[in-house]
Structure 1
Amino acid sequence: MIVLGLLLAAAGLSRLVLPADDVSAAGAPRYPALKTTKPSGLYFDRVTMSDGLSHYVLRFSNTVWNDGEGRLELQGDPKPDGSNKVYQNVYDALTGGTRVSQTHVSSDIVYHPSHYHYHFQGFASYLMLQRDSAGVYQPTTKKGTKTGFCIMDSNHISSQGPSSAQYGSCNGSLQGISVGWGDLYQGSLPEQWIDLGTSRLADGYYAIQSTA
């Protein structure tokens, strides 16, 4: 018997924020704080991987949302030669306002051919845990690839923040998540899974750890 239940969800808190460069003409910076909701819509599937073999995978939907004081805004500079850069813009207001800083945070922006748009790489990661004889959930070797997201306001998680989506679509140059909004990745999407290998998952109690 395999038991997954609602799982030990996962709330990895992460701030993609850095000190402001120049705040002389602006108010105090408002930073984002990212969380994940409980993975949902779990189901097993089989996928042919790059090794040419059919792997069992656990698919699920996952939402990363912004519980901070300010929007998450990432500005990409994708180039054909691969010398890509990603900047974080920090503002002094929930919407509009003055940009307090623009800081280089990563060089991981790539075009995702299965999704037909650019992704910021390593935006979320997934790990399967298994309950041991003492009732403690321990990490296993089964995990998802570090997931790249094309981030946007796809669903309103809390009453804080703007009432309408400020980042309604995603592209290669500017993406973000408003305060109180989340970006939902459906389990049916390519690579939105944990790879279980070429054998079925053994009976037991499991949980998924989702970290943003």
Structure 2
Amino acid sequence: MLAAGMLAAGLGPTAGADPADRTDELPDLVADPVGRAITTTYTDSSGTRALLRFDGYVHNQGSGPLELYGTARSSGEMTEVYQRLYDSDGGSEARTTSPAPRILFENADGHGHWHLHDAAAYSLWNENRTKEVAPAQKVGFCLVDSEHVDPWGPDEAAYTVDGLNFCEQHNPEADELDMGVSPGWRDIYHRDLAFQWVDISDVTPGRYALRSEVDPEGVVIEEDETNPPAFADTVVPGYVAQPFAVEVPWSQPTRLELPVESFGDVDEPRFRIEEAPENGVLDKSEGEWFTGSSVTYIPQPGHSGPDSFRFSARERGNEFPRSPREATASLDVGEAPLPVTLGGDAEQRADVTSGAVQTPRGPGEAHGVPTGSDGDSERRRAPDVSEPLPDPGGSPLARPQVELRHGELLARTVPWHSGTVDLAVIGDGRSLGSCQAEVPAGRPYTCLLASGVTGDELRDARAVATLRSGDHLLDTHDIPMR
């Protein structure tokens, strides 16, 4: 073997030109950005983890080789480790450093050979590269010439897997061994090897930078001991819940869309309510994952003012991150409507404070720009009041009812105006079920709110039905329970 033959002959200086005419040709280890990063999961005795895997490198861009020799084996470690340094005249000298490099026999990567311990270190940093997000993992290398990357150095690999017996693979009883990287060459540890990863099991999805260092302990003698780490931009795929604020009407179900930011190529999101609202209920249970980005919020009877809930998001089918980032939905529940009666004369005026009016044809909504104001009220002209269409039963949403039949909670109604029908039942401070559909005028609508419901759950329950056309509320009912 190249290095072993020279090193075994003697560890002292070899002959060469006059020292005054010689210059050291030292290695210079630099960090290259990691390559081919992918995300995957890995299961071992400690459980399943989410990993960011990548190719790692030990790159020697110096004028001389990195060459290490280990001997005096004891308990799986070479207790004497030397670095062979060469000069411009072909002479060489073995030196040690403090702390000295460590060469250990390790099976963890599946190769079962000797490693330069802590040859490289990897960590995950924020996108701006100012803060570590996932801690560094130090890894060992069996150093060989894998790839010629610089215009200098030997054309052929000097330190090879065959020539070095792959760092005495499957030979934990080896008494000596050597390893190295020629100038202008680098060693490659591929991403499918153990420890070529950063654990991202609890990292929030987003854009990050992978940091790589070589010789993080500073045990190798080099031309430049201040080489910086290298960074490679990367993405942890997934979803992050986003906060939002919205106004909701008094005492009526409101469908809310839960916003997320996505990163990478991902499947659809799923959601979890982390903390339920204090002054209302949702149609999704706290602590349970669900698909679909919408939830229905129903204020408690008589409540107006602020309310909120917290939620999180993950990619469907993905158990990571373990603790997804939570976002807050801030709700502002409107005040109770103040009914006002308007006659048919378009010149009549009425003061309204909340937008609900009573027209000759039933309840409607005040809308448009006020023509004036007086104190806490707004003055609107009669043409600015939307009136519901006439219907056979005197109400746009006819005969709404909810009944329990063989454990199934069913809701029925007939809208006499085309629009969006919302039906929901609240019991014991939580939603027992809800449904929503676009229904044509005059068509009976039936929906299954929930299954497996008992009569006890319906004690003191409250059911609500609403009909909307666009932004206009046409009708609302508290439904009698049967």
- TM bucket, shorter chain: 0.7 to 0.9
Partner of 1:167: 159
Residue 22 of structure 1: how far off its partner (Å): 7.3
Q: Note the 1:50-129 alignment, pairs <5 A.
A: 50=45, 52-77=46-71, 79-82=73-76, 84-85=78-79, 86-93=81-88, 97-104=90-97, 106=100, 108-113=102-107, 114-129=110-125
What amino acid sits opposite 1:166 in the alignment? A
Which of 76-85 and 55-64 deviates more? 76-85
User: Measured at CA, do residues 117 and 128 of structure 1 come closer, stay the same or move farther in structure 2, by a change above 3 Å?
Assistant: same
Once superposed, which parts of structure 1, at least 4 consecutive aligned residues long, lie more than 4 Å away? 21-24
User: Measured at CA, do residues 138 and 194 of structure 1 come closer, stay the same or move farther in structure 2, by a change above 3 Å?
Assistant: same
**What TM-score results when the alignment is normalised by the length of structure 2?**
0.36
1:192 to 196, 216, 219: 196
Partner of 2:309: none
8 Å Cα contact 1:185/1:192 also seen in 2: yes
Larger radius of gyration: 2
Greater helix fraction, Structure 1 or Structure 2: 2
Q: Secondary structure of the equivalent of 1:76?
A: strand
User: Measured at CA, do residues 186 and 82 of structure 1 come closer, stay the same or move farther in structure 2, by a change above 3 Å?
Assistant: closer
8 Å Cα contact 1:61/1:187 also seen in 2: yes
Partner of 1:30: 25
Structure-2 separation of matches of 1:91 and 1:152: 18
What amino acid sits opposite 1:180 in the alignment? G
8 Å Cα contact 1:109/1:120 also seen in 2: yes
Report the count of equivalent residues: 183
Structure-1 separation of matches of 2:143 and 2:14: 30
What amino acid sits opposite 1:123 in the alignment? A
Which of 67-76 and 138-147 deviates more? 138-147
Q: Secondary structure of the equivalent of 1:84?
A: strand
Structure 2: state its 5+ residue gaps: 1-10, 17-21, 169-176, 215-482
What amino acid sits opposite 1:168 in the alignment? T
What amino acid sits opposite 2:105 in the alignment? Y
8 Å Cα contact 2:82/2:94 also seen in 1: no
Q: Note the 1:131-142 alignment, pairs <5 A.
A: 131=127, 136-142=128-134
Residue 99 of structure 1: how far off its partner (Å): 1.3
8 Å Cα contact 1:84/1:107 also seen in 2: no
What amino acid sits opposite 2:209 in the alignment? A
Structure-2 separation of matches of 1:143 and 1:78: 34
Identity of aligned residues (%): 30
Partner of 1:203: 205
Residue 36 of structure 1: how far off its partner (Å): 2.1
Q: Note the 1:37-52 alignment, pairs <5 A.
A: 37-50=32-45, 52=46
Q: Secondary structure of the equivalent of 1:161?
A: coil
Q: Which has the higher contact order (CA 8 A, sep 6+)?
A: 1
Structure-2 separation of matches of 1:186 and 1:156: 16
User: Measured at CA, do residues 88 and 179 of structure 1 come closer, stay the same or move farther in structure 2, by a change above 3 Å?
Assistant: same
8 Å Cα contact 2:51/2:197 also seen in 1: yes
Structure 1: state its 5+ residue gaps: 1-20
8 Å Cα contact 1:142/1:194 also seen in 2: yes
User: Measured at CA, do residues 184 and 73 of structure 1 come closer, stay the same or move farther in structure 2, by a change above 3 Å?
Assistant: same
Q: Secondary structure of the equivalent of 1:171?
A: helix
Q: Secondary structure of the equivalent of 2:130?
A: strand
User: Does 2:173 align with 1:179?
Assistant: no
Residue 191 of structure 1: how far off its partner (Å): 1.1
**What TM-score results when the alignment is normalised by the length of structure 1?**
0.77
Residue 47 of structure 1: how far off its partner (Å): 1.5
Residue 24 of structure 1: how far off its partner (Å): 8.6
Structure-1 separation of matches of 2:129 and 2:66: 32
Structure-1 separation of matches of 2:191 and 2:14: 45
Structure-2 separation of matches of 1:56 and 1:24: 51
CA RMSD between the two structures: 2.3
Q: Secondary structure of the equivalent of 1:79?
A: strand
Residue 83 of structure 1: how far off its partner (Å): 5.2
Residue 48 of structure 1: how far off its partner (Å): 2.5
